[in-house]
Amino acid sequence: MIKKLTLIVSRQIVMMIATAIIMFPLCCTAEESTKTHRMDEVVVSATRSEIPVFDTSQSVTVISEEEIMNAPFERIEDILRYSAGIENHSHYGNQTGGVSSHLSMRGVGRNRILMLLDGVPLNDNYNNSIAWVAWGIVPKESIARIEIVRGPSSALYGSEGLGGVVNIITKKPADKAEASVKGFAGSGDTYGGSALYSQKVSQFGFLISGGYEDSNGFYMVDTEETEDYTIKRYRDVGKGFGKFSYSPDERTDISLSLLYYDHEMGKGREFFYDDLQMDQYRLGFSHRGSAMDWTGLVYLNRADKTAYQDNAADNYATLDRTEMFPENYNWGAEIQNTARFSDMMTLTAGIAYKRVSMDYDEDYTTSARDAGAAGIQEGISPFVNMEAVLLDNKLIVSAGGRYDRIRNCDGSGWDTKPPGIAPYNNNYDSETWENFSPKAGLVFHPDETTALRTSVGTGFRAPSLFELYKVHVRSGGRSLRYANPNLDPEKIVTWDLGAEHLFFGKLWLRLNYYQSWASDYIGSRTLKTYEKGGKTYTESILDNISEMDIYGVESEIEWYMTESLTAFFRYTYNLSEITKDEEDQSLEGKYLAGDARHKYRAGITYRNPAYINASLFLRHNKDEYSDSLNTIWVPDYLSLDLSLSKKFFDRLTLRFDIENLTGDDDVTEEGTIYMGTLEFNF
């Protein structure tokens, strides 16, 4: 495997050098004034304090407001499709992923990316609302940028981010009043719209946005293979976001953010769908001193979710039960201080608290059966991070760590009529986990346009309340998976090595190699299988069963050809090998299913407001297994996406987006999807 990765790295280096040589004449003819690569772009997610992306020891990407607005997608998860190291496992026509997130990063598997909204953790620790929301909770007109930090993040953020962090940063109220109204319509009888208004008045400011979408959806299988009960996966979404700010002086800001989200989404059968209502509140404070900065926040996330499950016994013709998560709460607070002792050293230290409560209840329509689960998870976590600049700003040394003490309590689970076993009403003992997550990194700048970096970091993911206490029943009762209150956290250690260079101010190249060792991965351990009434029944339990070795290479090229023409190419090679599986030793030496070994992303954009703006994007996945035994290959996937837009009178923008120009119908029976948008800016 090491030889194979060495070959991959060598090929990437040769390809990048060859690209630079080929583009040399074009780059040399460009004027110095047309340098466009953002060398001084600032990120906060990598260190919890402001630092140029060029100076971070981890691999970091910032998706700008312009890139977000020009993407032919509305949802965050779809905009992230083109980023190196990230895989979106589901077409957006699927609508939701149940309890599994669509996204993974660097081959760690699903539900292991930490998602933040203005620094507030959105992973809810009881049923992963990220999977339900499909990352579409905020109108994209409200987003200033998206920060992606690859690699474990527990040294700064604690549990969840084994693969990395995605932090959505919303806009501040505009200095001058601005407003926009947008409407769109397209394939699948999809239509919707959004609006935004933003303004500052003296020391006060506000931003208000909202959106709505209705879609009859798509058949996610070949219509010739549909059953009588199969319907399109429909979607009905409403959302609103507001931010209110007060700045008593130039160095102090106080802000209050409010978010509401509501959806109903179909999953392909009449009585198989879910709905969700979420509201979130964030109160933030920041003060920038001459040598010391303070930030703090308090937040509350509330979710009310219901999953409707149909009855397999009557060929899905009726509703069997509703699975409800009513009034689940996730709240917390953080405070941190960033001290600049000199131009050479910055120290950030703080403490975070988080408390999550789960209330789960099942109601059956065909019997008096009652089932449910409940529990509380809370944690307190001090953290520290240091950045030191040495050798005349050429060497940057970083180190940090976080101690997490997480406690589960009031855990319970009950079922008055479970299939195949006796009724139960269990109350579980409290459990406490303690974890210290260190990290360290180096960045060396031999010149102003080159960065050589390396880092080592650790991550962990505490078991969710859902995994600890909820019994999961599927397939009409034929699949019964027990909860396990004795689960341990998942853990990972990652080392990476990277380099980037900007040639002639026009051609940017970055190459990263990473290696991870993951342990105590949570999976299902089969207890027994049996036949009953001609059907197979399976009972299993969640347990810490797997260890994995993960290797990969990420390469990126961005070429700023002219003021109007830009292009990018990104390639990710990833191998996630199962080195230990206590449940099934035949899986040892196999590779993680559902993660493509080769991922290609490319795009070219032409911007000329006098004529037209056009972007063409390519996504290609190759060599992916669909089964854990590595016997079935997923067909290689290639998609071309096109976005065209034209602005009239500096106010009106017409936009036309086409997804999947190749017409590949392996994902949705419609193949190519069209969307038209009309936007008016005041």
Buried-exposed string 653-665: b where 16+ CB fall within 10 A, e elsewhere: bebbbbbbbeeee
Query: What does the block give as tokens for 359?
Result: 């209330």
Query: What does the block give as tokens for 497?
Result: 């090595």
Q: What is the pLDDT of residue 267?
A: 85
CA angle, corner 142, sides to 137 and 147, nearest 5? 80
Query: Which residue in the block uniquely carries the two structure tokens 């031999």?
Result: 446
Integer Cα distance of 563 and 90 in angstroms: 35
Question: Which SS3 state, helix, strand or coil, does residue 24 take?
Answer: helix
CA angle, corner 452, sides to 568 and 80, nearest 5? 35
Buried-exposed string 474-502: b where 16+ CB fall within 10 A, e elsewhere: eebbbbbbbbbbebbbbbbbbebebbbbb
Q: What is the pLDDT of residue 149?
A: 94
Start-to-end C-alpha separation, the chain = 57
Go through the domains of the chain in sequence order and give each one's CATH number. Answer: 2-681 (2.40.170.20)
Integer Cα distance of 393 and 382 in angstroms: 29
Q: Are 492 and 152 in contact (CB under 8 A)?
A: yes
Q: What is the pLDDT of residues 453-475, one digit of tens each?
A: 999 999 999 998 888 998 887 77
Q: Are 109 and 89 in contact (CB under 8 A)?
A: no
Q: Are 489 and 461 in contact (CB under 8 A)?
A: yes
Torsions phi, psi for 650 (to 5 deg): 60, 15
Q: Are 408 and 427 in contact (CB under 8 A)?
A: no
Q: In 3D, which of 77, 93, 96 has the Cα closest to residue 220?
A: 93
What string of DSSP letters covers 158-197?
A: -SS-SSEEEEEEEPPPPSS-EEEEEEEEETTTEEEEEEEE
Integer Cα distance of 303 and 115 in angstroms: 16
Please name every residue paired with 158 in a beta bridge, in sequence order, or none if there are none: none
Q: In 3D, which of 519, 488, 632 has the Cα closest to residue 582?
A: 519
Q: In 3D, which of 40, 46, 44, 51 has the Cα closest to residue 400?
A: 46
Q: In 3D, which of 325, 532, 315, 323 has the Cα closest to residue 421?
A: 532
Q: Which residues contact 375 (CB under 8 A, 6 or more apart)?
A: 126, 357, 358, 408, 409, 410, 411, 412, 428, 465, 468, 469
Q: Are strands 272-288 and 292-310 parallel, antiparallel or unpaired?
A: antiparallel
Please name every residue paired with 209 in a beta bridge, in sequence order, or none if there are none: 196, 241
Query: Which residue in the block uniquely carries the two structure tokens 């953290």?
Result: 383
What does the CA dihedral 23, 24, 28, 32 come to, rounded to 10 degrees? Answer: 70
Integer Cα distance of 468 and 376 in angstroms: 11
Torsions phi, psi for 420 (to 5 deg): 80, -5
Query: What does the block give as tokens for 663?
Result: 């017409």
Cα separations (Å) of 608 from 611, 612, 681?
A: 5, 5, 18
Which of the 8 DSSP states describes residue 28? H
Query: What does the block give as tokens for 52?
Result: 């140029």
Q: Are 99 and 131 in contact (CB under 8 A)?
A: yes
Integer Cα distance of 233 and 97 in angstroms: 12
Which of the 8 DSSP states describes residue 154? H
- Give the number of other CB atoms < 10 A from CB of residue 305: 22
Strands (E), 77-138: 86-88, 103-105, 113-117, 120-121
Question: Which SS3 state, helix, strand or coil, does residue 459 take?
Answer: strand
Burial of residue 261, with CB atoms counted within 10 A of its CB: 0-12 exposed, 13-18 middle, 19 or more buried: buried
Query: Which residue in the block uniquely carries the two structure tokens 């060497």?
Result: 395
Buried-exposed string 284-300: b where 16+ CB fall within 10 A, e elsewhere: beebeeeeebbbebbbe
CA angle, corner 134, sides to 129 and 139, nearest 5? 105
Buried-exposed string 328-360: b where 16+ CB fall within 10 A, e elsewhere: bbbbbebebbbebeeeeebbbbbebebbbbbbb
Integer Cα distance of 253 and 246 in angstroms: 6
Strands (E), 250-288: 252-269, 272-288
Integer Cα distance of 132 and 95 in angstroms: 8
Integer Cα distance of 592 and 599 in angstroms: 15
Q: What is the pLDDT of residues 660-679, one digit of tens each?
A: 888 776 656 667 889 999 99
- What residue type is 641 in one-letter code? D
Q: In 3D, which of 488, 670, 671, 658 has the Cα closest to residue 73?
A: 658
Spans of the chain below 70 pLDDT: 1-40, 90-101, 124-135, 221-225, 420, 476-477, 665-670
Which of the 8 DSSP states describes residue 462? P
